[in-house]
Amino acid sequence: MSDQYPTDPQGQPTQGYPTPGYQSQSHPTQSHPTQGYGQQPQAAYGTAPATMSPEDERTWGAISHAGAVVAMICSAGFLGFLASIAVYVIHKDRGPFVRSHAANSINIQITMFIWLLVLGILTIPIAIFTLGLGLVVMLPALAAAFVVAGVLHVIGAVKAYNGEWWTPPLTPQFVK
For the chain, how long is the longest CA-to-CA vector? 88
One DSSP character per residue, 106-170 reads: HHHHHHHHHHHHHHHHHHHHHHHHTTTTTHHHHHHHHHHHHHHHHHHHHHHHHHHHTT-----TT
pLDDT tens, position by position, for the chain (176 residues)?
445 555 555 665 555 444 444 444 444 444 444 545 555 555 566 666 678 888 999 999 999 999 999 998 888 777 888 889 999 999 999 999 999 999 999 999 999 999 989 988 888 888 788 877 777 878 888 889 889 999 999 999 999 999 999 999 989 999 98
Q: Which of 111, 104, 174, 168 is nearest to 145 (CA)?
A: 111
SS3 category, 13 = strand
CA angle 65, 71, 74 (to 5 degrees): 145
Q: Distance between CA atoms of 159 and 163, rounded to whole angstroms?
A: 6
pLDDT of amino acid 129:
83
DSSP 8-state code for residue 97: H
